[in-house]
Amino acid sequence: MNNFPLPRLDKDSKLYEILLNYCRLKSGEKWEDPEGLHSVGCIDCTDEDQIKNFIGKKKFTLAVHDPPYNLIAFKKMNVDEFILWCSKWIKNTEKILTKNSSLYVWLGADYKKHFQPFAEFIIMIKGTGFKSQNMITMRNQRGYGTQKNWMSVRQELLFYSKGEPVFNSANVYTDIPKILRGYYKEVNGKITENFERSHSDKIRAGNVWVDIQQVFHLKEENVNGCFAQKPLQAIERIIKVSSAIDDRVVDFFSHSGTTLLAAERTGRKCSTIDIDPVFCEISIRRLEHFRETGLLGWQNSNPFAKEILNDKKLIELLRKEYNMSYKLN
Ligand SMILES: C[S@@+](CC[C@H](N)C(=O)[O-])C[C@H]1O[C@@H](n2cnc3c(N)ncnc32)[C@H](O)[C@@H]1O
């Protein structure tokens, strides 16, 4: 189905309330994958008891978290409150990771406010059992630049560890061809240059990722209604490098279910949560849709397209209030 968009679901409560009727999880509930691999919980990641209940005895080798830093950008919390909130889910994460494990956190920085909450977050995590490992920058253009400052095209990804986790970067290459020659080295008495010695004609992923396209409406992986989707390729890269096949991966901020889908595609087991039943439903549907069709998202259709089609009032609401035009085919 084409041209069946959905507005951002954080923008309007009327549409959100209707979609809630189509969600299988209520707060505190969980979905278990009939194939026995994954689970999705409608849970608050700061609530220790809810997390315990959801996770049970499972332990994870990898956590990939993408918290909503708009909580601070939109003044829903001040920076101290935000960091206190973060410290709770970091503590919950530490408890459910194995002794050799990795933690990745996507975090923004407000350039006009002394880069908050980035700096405060780094200081907070210093007081935990995590060791800092690296800081990755992913190129991600969001809109057009201002004429008065450098264009914002970066997203930061913090990488921490516990113990000695797996790190399989050797076979993880980008699609970027190697172009620089000239690193000569003597091997078995013969002078070789870097191209002769390398295993691939592509460069390996370092800590600056410029080869991953952001998600936008023309990409198959696009999930209409979601507004903070991370590219599948980025999460798959993290999973391949920092976990092994059959390992367990956890994500406390599921949203469009990117980590869930990435785990499915890379042979890992995922437990993921979202506080919002609508995003839990979208995550489950994204996995189901992939299993049924092999597609990564809905491109310019949406996860609730079937229900909307059968609900004339809903189509009317979307047409009138959101100026959405639907081409039904
Ligand atoms: C930035 S989005 C994550 C995007 C995700 N990585 C993706 O690719 O789709 C943050 C999500 O965190 C959820 N969230 C906010 N507060 C939460 C909490 N206390 N516990 C669990 N989830 C929460 C929001 O509902 C939102 O869906």
Of the residues 45, 91, 275, 286, which should be mutated to test ligand 1's pocket, given the most ligand atoms within 8 Å of the CB? 275
| pLDDT number for residue 119 | 94
Answer whether 264 contacts ligand 1 (Cβ < 6 A): no
Gap from CA of 80 to ligand 1 centroid (Å): 19
| pLDDT number for residue 1 | 47
Query: Which residue lies with its CA nearest to atom 18 of ligand 1?
Result: 44
- Interacting residues of 84 by C-beta distance below 8 A, sequence separation 6+: none
Gap from CA of 254 to ligand 1 centroid (Å): 5
| pLDDT number for residue 169 | 86
**Burial (CB count <10 Å: 0-12, 13-18, 19+), residue 138:** buried
Of the residues 142, 227, 255, 272, which should be mutated to test ligand 1's pocket, given the most ligand atoms within 8 Å of the CB? 255
Please tell me whether residue 277 adopts helix, strand or coil conformation: helix
Answer whether 68 contacts ligand 1 (Cβ < 6 A): yes
| CA neighbor of 50 nearest in space, from 66, 27, 34 | 27
| CA neighbor of 281 nearest in space, from 54, 67, 20 | 20
> Do the beta carbons of residue 101 and residue 62 sit within 8 Å?
yes
**Cα–Cα distance measured from residue 39 to residue 287, given in angstroms and rounded to the nearest whole number:** 11
| pLDDT number for residue 298 | 94
Ligand 1 atom at shortest distance from the alpha carbon of 230? 8
Q: What does the block give as tokens for 241?
A: 């490098």
| pLDDT number for residue 316 | 85
- Interacting residues of 314 by C-beta distance below 8 A, sequence separation 6+: 15, 18, 307, 308
Helix 13-20 to helix 312-322 angle (10° resolution) is: 160
In the block, residue with structure tokens 């869930």: 260
Q: What does the block give as tokens for 297?
A: 């998202």
| pLDDT number for residue 152 | 85
**Cα–Cα distance measured from residue 293 to residue 290, given in angstroms and rounded to the nearest whole number:** 5
Work out the end-to-end distance of the chain between its first and last CA atoms, rounded to an integer number of angstroms. Answer: 7
Ligand 1 atom at shortest distance from the alpha carbon of 258? 8
Answer whether 281 contacts ligand 1 (Cβ < 6 A): no
> Do the beta carbons of residue 268 and residue 247 sit within 8 Å?
yes
Answer whether 229 contacts ligand 1 (Cβ < 6 A): yes
Answer whether 286 contacts ligand 1 (Cβ < 6 A): no
Answer whether 256 contacts ligand 1 (Cβ < 6 A): yes
> Do the beta carbons of residue 86 and residue 108 sit within 8 Å?
no
**Cα–Cα distance measured from residue 155 to residue 76, given in angstroms and rounded to the nearest whole number:** 21
Reported as type and span, the H/E element at residue 175 is strand 173-177
Of the residues 253, 260, 273, 275, which should be mutated to test ligand 1's pocket, given the most ligand atoms within 8 Å of the CB? 253
| CA neighbor of 162 nearest in space, from 234, 48, 62, 86 | 62
| CA neighbor of 317 nearest in space, from 6, 2, 98, 103 | 6
Answer whether 226 contacts ligand 1 (Cβ < 6 A): yes
Domains and CATH numbers, the chain: 23-171+212-303 (3.40.50.150), 172-206 (no CATH)
94 C-beta neighbours (distance < 10 Å), count? 17
Answer whether 65 contacts ligand 1 (Cβ < 6 A): no
| pLDDT number for residue 185 | 82
Gap from CA of 27 to ligand 1 centroid (Å): 14
Gap from CA of 21 to ligand 1 centroid (Å): 20
| pLDDT number for residue 246 | 98
| pLDDT number for residue 329 | 54
Answer whether 274 contacts ligand 1 (Cβ < 6 A): yes
| pLDDT number for residue 80 | 95
C-alpha triplet 192, 196, 202: angle, nearest 5°: 140
Main-chain dihedrals φ then ψ at residue 99, nearest 5 degrees: -70, -20
**Cα–Cα distance measured from residue 309 to residue 241, given in angstroms and rounded to the nearest whole number:** 41
**Cα–Cα distance measured from residue 89 to residue 80, given in angstroms and rounded to the nearest whole number:** 15
| pLDDT number for residue 143 | 62
Answer whether 221 contacts ligand 1 (Cβ < 6 A): no
Residues with pLDDT less than 70, the chain = 1-2, 142-145, 326-329
| pLDDT number for residue 181 | 74
| pLDDT number for residue 304 | 93
Cα 103 from chain centre? 13
